[in-house]
Amino acid sequence: METLEKIKQQIAENPILLYMKGSPKLPSCGFSAQAAQALMSCGHAFAYVDILQNPDIRAELPKYAEWPTFPQLWLEGELVGGCDIIIEMFQKGELQPLIEEVAERHPAPQAD
């Protein structure tokens, strides 16, 4: 699969998606750590892609998103922004209801 197709598929399949360096539990950069922490504080599951494990995505996503840096938060296919925007929205209390709304529109599949 072409890298661009893979990116589009990830964004389409994951209503709450964070492209980051490392993982939420083991972030590899301070900005990714802050973004993941803010998202985890919202209390809903979210998908993530470790761009350090995916150099093709790391190279292509900034062009596709027209956003040069990581992390990148995507909600329902729309780029929200990077660390500064995520933290600012969280501190203003704007991120939590947004995540809540998206999570309600896309309930996680229940295990049997």
Residue 54 is assigned to a structural domain of this protein: yes
Residue 110 is assigned to a structural domain of this protein: no
pLDDT digits (tens, 9 = 90+) for 75-108: 999 999 999 999 999 999 999 999 999 999 998 6
**Domain range holding 90?**
3-105
> For position 55, which CATH number holds?
3.40.30.10
Predicted pLDDT at 90: 98
Which DSSP letter does residue 26 get? S
10 phi/psi in degrees, rounded to 5: -60, -45
Residue 81 is assigned to a structural domain of this protein: yes
Which DSSP letter does residue 30 get? H
pLDDT of 31 over the 90 cut: yes
For residue 50, say whether it is annotated as part of any ligand binding site: no
Predicted pLDDT at 98: 97
Q: What is the pTM of this model?
A: 0.94
For residue 90, say whether it is annotated as part of any ligand binding site: no
Q: How many domains does the chain have?
A: 1
Percentage of the chain surpassing pLDDT 90? Answer: 94
Over the chain, what is the mean pLDDT?
Answer: 95
For residue 42, say whether it is annotated as part of any ligand binding site: no
